[in-house]
Amino acid sequence: MLPSVDSVMLEQRAQSFAKRSIKNESKMQGLRLVLSMIDLTTLEGKDSAEKVKSLCKKAVHLYEGELAEPLPHVAAVCVYPSLVKVAKKALEGSGVNVASVATGFPSGQYPIDVRIGDVKKAVSAGADEIDMVINRGAFLAGNYKKVKDEIARVKNSCGNAHLKIILETGELETYDHVRFASDLAIEAATEAGKISDGEVFIKTSTGKVSPAATLPVTLVMLEAIRDFYDATGVRIGMKPAGGIKTAKQALHYLVMVKETLGDEWLSPHLFRFGASSLANDVLRQIVKQTTGHYPAGYDFSEA
């Protein structure tokens, strides 16, 4: 039986976070934290080595102007497996991780051996993180064992790379499905053996389906993470992806994380934003808070 989520209470609580006001020094700390949690991403059919190099340059040099205090770098750059080597070389020594989508992204409908090969190729090329997609068709058909077994096989193929499991919540139809998929993904990825905090994430979306990340869906997933931590003491990471475009929105997510999971999750080791367009708005707000003026477009690195 699927878990039952009280949708009315869930949405009321989620929307309460959007009414919080964060000001002054707390706002600046929050903005810098958001910046450090962003996974810059390029996942288009026209991706090339030069485009990935440009994105990597942005990841390391976010702002071309001068600030009194250095900016943090982003958490990761996410690319297709075929471009992992390019990103790895461009980011060498920067502290920015290389993430790669795999498992037949974004559909997850490829034969499982092809999807596993996708993972192994990305890991062998140097990926620090793998973003996999679950087979939503199998999930919605009730073939939960298949979904669970596939997640476990992917986790076992990751080696030392961390795993983010994309549920594609926009296709899961109900909050009950989102909660059950969250529980199933966490259980499948952690059954094979002991894992460290942050070794496994659950992630809302590929960014290719609408709706993507929302406050209520993210709250459902955070509560699954909280309940798993209460039962096991293991901290699972969380990544809302798609649709988070402004610094103000991102700060609302941080408040929700803090009040649902606690301060331990306020780190790129346990929380990420999949929102490349978010970076420039956060930078604009940081520069405005610091200098009193909004920066010009040419002050930002291109990507």
| Catalytic residue (one of 128, 148, 203, 281) | 203
DSSP 168: -
Q: Is 239 a catalytic residue?
A: yes
Q: Is 203 a catalytic residue?
A: yes
Q: Distances in Å between the alpha carbon of 200 and those of 29, 190, 191, 285? A: 26, 8, 12, 31
Q: How far is CA 254 from the centre of its chain?
A: 13
| Catalytic residue (one of 131, 155, 164, 183) | 131
Q: Is 6 a catalytic residue?
A: no
SS3 call for 245: coil
**Within 13 Å, how many C-alpha atoms sit on residue 234's CB side?**
17
Residue 126's φ and ψ, nearest 5 degrees, are 115, 10
For the residues of 101-161, what is the DSSP string, one character each?
A: E-SSTTT--S-HHHHHHHHHHHHHTT-SEEEEE--HHHHHTT-HHHHHHHHHHHHHH-TTS
Total number of residues shown for the chain: 303
Residue 118's φ and ψ, nearest 5 degrees, are -55, -45
Please state, in angstroms and rounded to a whole number, the distance separating the CA atoms of residues 48 and 188. Answer: 34
For the residues of 36-51, what is the DSSP string, one character each?
A: HTBEEE---TT--HHH
Strand duo 97-101 + 200-203: pairing: unpaired
Q: Residues near 219 by Cβ (< 8 Å), separated by ≥ 6?
A: 10, 13, 14, 256, 260
**Within 13 Å, how many C-alpha atoms sit on residue 196's CB side?**
5
DSSP 72: P
Which residues are catalytically annotated? 131, 203, 239
